[in-house]
Amino acid sequence: MIPKFDLNENISTILEKLEKFLTSKTVVGEPIEIGDTKLIPFISTSFGLGTGGGGGKDEKGNDGTGSGVGLGAKITPAAVLVIRKEDVQLIPIKKNSGIEKLVEMVPDILVKLDKGKKEKEEKF
C-alpha cells in the first residue's frame, strides 16, 4: 500500500512551528540594562515557504506519490532603542552604519554612567 502524504497537514505543521518561533521576543529582543540606560534590540524577520506534491506511475506501472515542503528564514538586527532617563533614541542598523554608530556611543554612555555614579556618591 502506498502511504498517503497530506500536503495540507505538512504545511499546517510548519506554520504552527513558525508561529511558536515568532514571538514578540524574536521581533523585539530582551532589554539590556547598563546602569540607567536600557537598550532594546529590534529584529527584522523574513520567510519563504515552498511546497509541492505529485503522483504517477513508473516504467513498470507502479503507482507512486510524493510531497515536499521547504522553508527559508532570514533574521537580522533592524534597530536598537536606547532609553536613558527622558532621552529616547531609535538607532537604525544599516549595513555597518548602525552598528558603528552604536559602538561609537558606548564610550560616551560609559562616561556618562560613571559621571552620574560619582555625582550620586558626592550627594551622599
pTM: 0.49
Q: What is the pLDDT of residue 86?
A: 87
Q: What is the pLDDT of residue 38?
A: 93
66 contacts 76 by C-beta, under 8 angstroms? no
The model's pLDDT over 78-114, given as tens digits with 9 standing for 90+, comes to 889 999 988 999 988 876 555 666 777 777 777 777 7
Cell of 103: 559602538
At residue 81, the 3 state secondary structure works out as strand
The span from the CA of 2 to the CA of 64, in Å, is 7
The span from the CA of 54 to the CA of 77, in Å, is 39
Domain coordinates in residue numbering, the chain: 7-123
Res. 9: pLDDT tops 70: yes
